[in-house]
Structure 1
Amino acid sequence: MSNAYDVIIIGSGPGGYIAAIRAAQLGLKTAIVEREHLAGICSNWGCIPTKALLRSAEIYHYAKHPGDYGLKIEGTVSPDLKAIVARSRGIAQRMNGGVGFLMKKNKVDVIWGEAKLTKPGEIVVGKSSKKPVEPQAPMPKNTLGEGTYTAKHIVIATGARPRALPGIEPDGKLIWTYFEAMKPEEMPKSLLVMGSGAIGIEFASFYRTMGVDVTVVEIMSQVMPVEDTEISALAKKQFDKQGMKILLDAKVAKVEKGANSVTATIETKDGKTQQITADRMISAVGVQANVENIGLETLGIKTDRGFIAIDGYGKTNVPGIYAIGDVAGPPMLAHKAEHEAVICIEKIAGLPNVHPMDKNKIPGCTYCHPQVASVGLTEAKAKELGRDIRVGRFPFVANGKAIALGEDQGMVKTIFDKKTGELLGAHMVGAEVTELIQGFVVAMNLETTEEELMHTIFPHPTISETLKESVLDAYDRALNA
């Protein structure tokens, strides 16, 4: 088999494997290099297995409150931690195997090992220093090994890893990253979470639902700092009701480790300090790109604030070298990486009318309880940009389906340009809003105005009716509130 390809992709996460499939669809001879696990962090340690954990927590929550739905459950309902973790890991293995199947189906060669760029158009693949994730599906039969490989186009999709703060580095025992938080050997009685972004708040939500005493420390003035302030405040109110303790405008200044616990010194914005002792701590202060030891310096590939610098089509400053996904900068989202992959490959293939990524139309979802989802400008950002806006709001408490589900705590908020009717942003908190947000993403992509949304018929009874009502409210026409 020849070691020469049209396209080689380094990394098989959401960006990498989608790039490989699209390249193969366009008739390009394609290979993908992976050192650890097919399907990347998302399917093995991120997006998918965390949702499996959160689903278990959701079912446990309902089982503990059967009376809310007119039901009785005889006996004690309790979590089986080993079974919960095993289910999550089994789903990760299924996803891992699915990507292996897709590589075989699309005739993409899989090269197992660590790749390093040696010169434009060439990589050397050496033995992997990473232990494959367990459990892992069998490798596809079209798997190659160490050696030198060439390609006209090389796409870097090496992803990112948890960021560590100096002096508070995760140790895998007392201070966890999402890796350890996803497969605890025993349930801690208390947990300190440093950071309230999507990763931090999702784990805080999971562990709190499972009965753990959870404290979240956030350096910014609101929980989930990237979200609209009003939506964030509503989410926090629900977290507070659940018994989650959230410290805002605060940071973990120091951590002292005990035999089986950690004691953190917390500093607040006003200079006050307090100490919190917990069985375990999760460090969720973001991620950093995997840019080391892949040959960027050898080829003179430019980076910007720790990420590979690219244009709107994934091109780096070196011809024939591209980057996509987390390694190419925020937002660190699987769906951003996938779309970026398609743009990059279609540009490589010379397809007409390939449009660069519009990051303002990338939705964000957080799968805590209640869920949070958003797209576009927040109210504060729209005002900062000098936009003259109209804002609509509609509460779940006025929606029949939400009431019937027992999920009446939530809100949809929409932001429009007052002069043109352009939808500038949409923000939601409540049940299943991560499924609802795509309606507004499609609307923004089609440049839909408020008038067209008002004339759209939404099915009844559904939670999706809150979307239309929020649009109507922006123009003082809400019908059900």
Structure 2
Amino acid sequence: MADTFDLVILGSGPGGYVAAIRASQLGLKVAIVERERLGGICLNWGCIPTKALLRTSEIYHYMQNAESYGLKADNVGFDLAKVVDRSRKVAGQLNAGVKGLMKKNKVTVVEGVGTVTAKGKLSVKQGDKTVELEAKNIIVATGARARDLPFAKADGKTIWTYRHAMVPTEMPTKLLVIGSGAIGVEFASFYNDMGADVTIVEMLPRILPVEDEEVSAFMDKALTKQGITLLTGTGLEGLAPSGSGVTAKIKHKDGKVVEETFSHAIVAIGIVPNTENIGLEALGVETDRGHIKTDGYGRTNVDGIWAIGDVTGAPWLAHKASHEGIIAVEKIAGGSPHQMDKANIPGCTYSRPQVASVGMTEAKAREAGYELKVGKFPFIGNGKAIALGEAEGFVKTVFDAKTGELLGAHMVGAEVTELIQGYVVARQLETTEAELMETVFAHPTLSEMMHESVLAAYGRAIHY
């Protein structure tokens, strides 16, 4: 006989486990099905462990430049195995934390491979055993996986996905990073700071192509200055193991194809949604290029089947998945949540320097027909940034000249992934430039640049 619940969630990533907790808070009897580890990719193989690695490379960078702070640090080095071990322990700690949260919130955790067999029914295979679950509502939160190159699948030896890149057994000497989105740039930043010779190949005309053009241009100069080779407008026509490394066929802007050998390559060209073999096709759940189609509440075209997170499409971000999960659960419980507004989802890249943004780029706003007021303030004009020794970067704000609406905010520099939330809150509250100008920002802080950027849009910047 099947175990019966109000809600069953397939997948325990940041969308699934957050949805489970909120469902429990709302009085629903909920089960969550997970085939690997609670917390999903983000906690175990993505967001969290990569930040642990990047923190290590950041400290290593500072140690190597200790003299600029009046300090001495001789014979600086690192133990790669211990670097990786720290990252894995961080992930392990948070995995244990999610287990504790499931227990605290009385969420039933079912380990195994789940398949939706009919509306309201889900089968979980546990080795030779199968468990049957029933629920009026099922949320699909199965996430996504790294996309392989069609002509060179990752082997974990010299051709890596992000998973392999997080647990290296040897340090690359000459590294090729294929793709310059957030994942590619973060790994390029980490390995470059740890001493590898890094090259990034990007098919599009600029790196971090979803960001504002000025941010991309700044990052191009910053990463080049750090010693990273950037090949934009460049294609990859072949990649194959060669001796102890890999040989890449790189097609440059001029059309010339050049063969070059690297010790390792990281493939960071996007993701593939995990929608296959979970029963969606038989139910007639609509998809678009593999991604499940949903409305603003997470509902699919099939009654009782919901979907959240990476499996529903861009942006592929943990915080988007979590918020979608809460919206879906509140709707299931009979509430009246707001619909998902993707325009208010911040994006962050945790490289050195960091990048963060929310809303429209300047170019997108102009394309949309807005008359704009644009403000920009540099880190070099901020006392805290200078004191930190982090005087490179800028904050940019884009306003509707007619209404004062904050259309977008774009940042590059130290700690901007923390600062961006101020603008996210401003957009959620539908704040105009007037309220932002009248807000008092603490001194000395990096956040003062946020204020100055708003002032600059209206010709009122004080410190630059």
1:76-123 deviation digits (Å, cap 9, x = unpaired)? 010110100000000011111111000000000000101111110001
Rounded Cα–Cα distance in structure 2 between residues aligned with 1:434 and 1:472: 21
How many residues in Structure 1 have an aligned counterpart in Structure 2? 464
Residue 128 of structure 1, CA deviation = 6.0
Match of 1:421 among 404, 408, 425: 404
Q: Which residue of 2 aligns with 1:158?
A: 142
Rounded Cα–Cα distance in structure 1 between residues aligned with 2:192 and 2:338: 43
Q: Which residue of 2 aligns with 1:400?
A: 383
Match of 1:361 among 344, 358, 364: 344
Runs (5+) with no aligned partner, structure 1: 130-144
Residue 169 of structure 1, CA deviation = 1.5
- Could you tell me whether the CA contact under 8 Å between 2:52 and 2:86 is conserved in 1? yes
Is structure 2 residue 12 aligned with structure 1 residue 12?
yes
Is structure 2 residue 193 aligned with structure 1 residue 209?
yes
Is structure 2 residue 424 aligned with structure 1 residue 469?
no
Q: Which residue of 2 aligns with 1:99?
A: 98
Residue 164 of structure 1, CA deviation = 1.1
- Could you tell me whether the CA contact under 8 Å between 1:469 and 1:480 is conserved in 2? yes
Is structure 2 residue 160 aligned with structure 1 residue 176?
yes
SS in 1 for 2:145: strand
Is structure 2 residue 425 aligned with structure 1 residue 442?
yes
Cα RMSD between the aligned structures? 1.1
Is structure 2 residue 126 aligned with structure 1 residue 127?
yes
Is structure 2 residue 376 aligned with structure 1 residue 377?
no
- Could you tell me whether the CA contact under 8 Å between 2:405 and 2:431 is conserved in 1? yes
Is structure 2 residue 72 aligned with structure 1 residue 72?
yes
Give 1:435's aligned amino acid.
Answer: E
SS in 1 for 2:156: coil
- Matches of residues 2-81 of structure 1 in structure 2 within 5 Å? 3-73=3-73, 75-81=74-80
Q: Which residue of 1 aligns with 2:169?
A: 185
1:312-352 deviation digits (Å, cap 9, x = unpaired)? 11111110000000001110000000000000000000113
Rounded Cα–Cα distance in structure 2 between residues aligned with 1:25 and 1:251: 50
SS in 2 for 1:146: strand
Rounded Cα–Cα distance in structure 1 between residues aligned with 2:257 and 2:442: 52
Is structure 2 residue 187 aligned with structure 1 residue 196?
no
1:43-78 deviation digits (Å, cap 9, x = unpaired)? 0000000000000001101111111101112x3010
1:156-175 deviation digits (Å, cap 9, x = unpaired)? 00000001121021111111
- Could you tell me whether the CA contact under 8 Å between 2:2 and 2:134 is conserved in 1? no
- Could you tell me whether the CA contact under 8 Å between 1:116 and 1:124 is conserved in 2? yes
- Could you tell me whether the CA contact under 8 Å between 1:36 and 1:128 is conserved in 2? no
Rounded Cα–Cα distance in structure 2 between residues aligned with 1:404 and 1:33: 49
Q: Which residue of 2 aligns with 1:132?
A: none
Rounded Cα–Cα distance in structure 2 between residues aligned with 1:188 and 1:398: 38
Is structure 2 residue 316 aligned with structure 1 residue 332?
yes
Give 2:35's aligned amino acid.
Answer: R
- Matches of residues 112-151 of structure 1 in structure 2 within 5 Å? 112-127=111-126, 146-151=130-135
Give 2:378's aligned amino acid.
Answer: P
Rounded Cα–Cα distance in structure 1 between residues aligned with 2:149 and 2:368: 33
Q: Which residue of 1 aligns with 2:228?
A: 244
Rounded Cα–Cα distance in structure 2 between residues aligned with 1:124 and 1:106: 23
Residue 275 of structure 1, CA deviation = 2.1
If the length of structure 1 is used for normalisation, what is the TM-score?
A: 0.95
Residue 271 of structure 1, CA deviation = 1.3
Give 2:345's aligned amino acid.
Answer: I
Is structure 2 residue 429 aligned with structure 1 residue 430?
no
SS in 1 for 2:375: strand
Residue 235 of structure 1, CA deviation = 1.3
Match of 1:270 among 251, 254, 269: 254
Residue 270 of structure 1, CA deviation = 3.2
Give 2:307's aligned amino acid.
Answer: A
- Could you tell me whether the CA contact under 8 Å between 1:7 and 1:152 is conserved in 2? yes
Residue 268 of structure 1, CA deviation = 2.5
Rounded Cα–Cα distance in structure 2 between residues aligned with 1:51 and 1:274: 34
- Matches of residues 384-395 of structure 1 in structure 2 within 5 Å? 384-395=367-378
Rounded Cα–Cα distance in structure 1 between residues aligned with 2:224 and 2:439: 37
Q: Which residue of 1 aligns with 2:110?
A: 111
Is structure 2 residue 274 aligned with structure 1 residue 290?
yes
Residue 40 of structure 1, CA deviation = 0.3
Give 2:384's aligned amino acid.
Answer: K
Rounded Cα–Cα distance in structure 2 between residues aligned with 1:244 and 1:128: 47
Residue 272 of structure 1, CA deviation = 2.0
1:212-265 deviation digits (Å, cap 9, x = unpaired)? 000000011111110000011111111011000000001111113212111111
Instruction: Give runs of ≥4 in structure 1 deviating > 3 Å.
Output: none
Q: Which residue of 2 aligns with 1:314?
A: 298
Match of 2:439 among 456, 460, 463: 456
1:10–1:128: structure 2 CA closer, same or farther, 3 Å change rule? farther
Residue 276 of structure 1, CA deviation = 2.0
- Could you tell me whether the CA contact under 8 Å between 2:237 and 2:251 is conserved in 1? yes
Give 1:427's aligned amino acid.
Answer: H
SS in 1 for 2:247: strand
Percent of residue pairs identical: 60
Rounded Cα–Cα distance in structure 2 between residues aligned with 1:476 and 1:28: 53
Residue 2 of structure 1, CA deviation = 6.9
SS in 2 for 1:326: helix
Rounded Cα–Cα distance in structure 2 between residues aligned with 1:72 and 1:97: 38
Rounded Cα–Cα distance in structure 1 between residues aligned with 2:113 and 2:326: 24
